């Protein structure tokens, strides 16, 4: 997904509000709320892992109040209805999610280990099924066009996202694109500063977003470098700043976040890169053809 404007400058990153939208509204309307409503909202803020997925009726049961009280409290915060409130409640949860909270939610479920495994597979399939609606072929093709036209591509994905960034850089190199994925944070900063408008930065981060990944996008943008992101939102720290944001969900019971859907997006990018200049790709792969057929990489 592309956008016409985005905040730039290190100050934009440092001064970005740390409150979630839900917290901001609670603070804004706090003085006009009754003590009872303030208490209910504080409980919701303190227990996002237990409340973000509940319907209005189930949330009311969890808070030991009637559904009408929940609806009136939501409207007191300026929301048009519970759906809008629920979206912000989910965003609030995502900003607080940790491996511990993911596992604790699952542990509170009375299901068996087998049921959790089946749920994990179902969630991964659901995440994959969303990809075609989240990312149009035209967007994937545009990303591939920018990648193949770049002099070099710096792929930034740290911590758990490094497996994806390394895979992307490796696969791009195989199809003839000069790409690398630094893991050392100090090297990453130097490499980012060396980029020019002829290059491209591809950042991968999700949920709250890794600070160094977002900072790399900000620095690149300041230097006129095209930027692409893979994330789960266009409104999080990296989604607001990248020129194009590819989307995928990482939801699931796996404590590190599911990588199935993000890898599906990256697969599509590699396919688009290979076919956007198929003759050149074939020329590049021809050099490795003999090694694959007769080289010493295979066990005999």
- Same domain (yes/no): 165, 257: yes
Domain ranges, residue 47: 17-96
Which CATH number does the domain housing residue 66 bear?
1.10.10
Query: For 154-207, what is each residue's pLDDT tens digit?
Result: 999 999 899 999 999 999 999 999 999 999 999 999 999 999 999 999 999 998
Report DSSP state, residue 167. H
Question: Distance between CA 281 and CA 268 in Å, rounded?
Answer: 16
Same domain, 288 and 159: yes
User: In sequence order, which residues have a C-beta less than 8 Å from that of residue 285 and are 6 or more positions away?
Assistant: 174, 175
What is the number of helices (H) and of strands (E) in the chain?
16, 5
Query: For residue 10, is pLDDT > 50?
Result: no
Does residue 13 surpass a pLDDT of 50?
no
> Does the pTM exceed 0.85?
no
- The answer to whether residues 141 and 272 touch, using CB atoms and an 8 Å cutoff, is yes
Per-residue confidence (pLDDT) for residue 35, from 0 to 100 = 86
- Assigned domain for 275 exists: yes
pLDDT of 11 > 50? The answer is: no
Pick the last residue of a domain from 69, 96, 123. Answer: 96
Count CB-CB contacts under 10 A for residue 263: 17
Q: Could you read off the pLDDT of 262-280 as tens digits, one per residue?
A: 999 999 999 999 999 989 8
Which pLDDT does position 91 carry in this prediction? 74
Contact, 271 vs 145, CB < 8 A?
Answer: no
Name which residue leads in pLDDT, 50 or 54. Answer: 54
Domain containing 183 — which CATH number? 3.40.50.10490
Asked if 44 and 171 sit in the same domain, the reply is no
- pLDDT at position 21 is 83
The percentage of the chain sitting over the pLDDT mark of 90, rounded to a whole number, equals 46
The mean pLDDT value for 207-216 works out to: 92
Q: Is the pLDDT of residue 287 over 80?
A: no
181 & 276 share domain: yes
117 domain-assigned:
no
The chain-wide mean pLDDT, for the chain, equals 85
> What domain count does the chain have?
2
């Amino acid at each position: 997904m592309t956008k016409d404007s985005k905040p730039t400058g290190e100050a934009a990153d440092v001064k970005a509000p740390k409150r979630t939208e839900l917290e901001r509204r609670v603070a804004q309307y706090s003085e006009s709320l009754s003590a009872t409503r303030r208490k209910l909202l504080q409980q919701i803020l303190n227990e996002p892992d237990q409340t973000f997925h509940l319907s209005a009726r189930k949330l009311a049961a969890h808070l030991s109040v009637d559904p009408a009280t929940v609806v009136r409290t939501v409207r007191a915060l300026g929301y048009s209805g519970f759906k809008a409130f629920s979206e912000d409640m989910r965003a609030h949860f995502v900003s607080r999610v940790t491996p511990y909270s993911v596992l604790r939610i699952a542990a509170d479920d009375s299901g068996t280990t087998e049921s959790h495994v089946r749920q994990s597979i179902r969630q991964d399939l659901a995440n994959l099924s969303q990809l075609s609606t989240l990312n149009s072929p035209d967007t994937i093709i545009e990303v591939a066009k920018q990648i193949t036209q770049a002099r070099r591509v710096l792929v930034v994905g740290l911590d758990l996202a490094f497996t994806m960034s390394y895979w992307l850089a490796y696969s791009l190199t195989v199809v003839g694109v000069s790409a690398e994925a630094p893991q050392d944070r100090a090297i990453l900063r130097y490499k980012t500063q060396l980029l020019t408008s002829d290059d491209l930065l591809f950042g991968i981060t999700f949920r709250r977003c890794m600070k160094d990944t977002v900072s790399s996008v900000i620095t690149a943008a300041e230097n006129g470098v095209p930027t692409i992101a893979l994330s789960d939102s266009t409104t999080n720290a990296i989604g607001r700043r990248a020129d194009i944001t590819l989307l995928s969900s990482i939801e699931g019971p796996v404590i590190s976040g599911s990588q199935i859907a993000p890898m599906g997006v990256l697969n599509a990018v590699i396919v688009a890169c290979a076919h956007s200049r198929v003759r050149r790709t074939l020329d590049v792969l021809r050099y490795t053809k003999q090694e694959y057929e007769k080289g010493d990489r295979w066990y005999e």
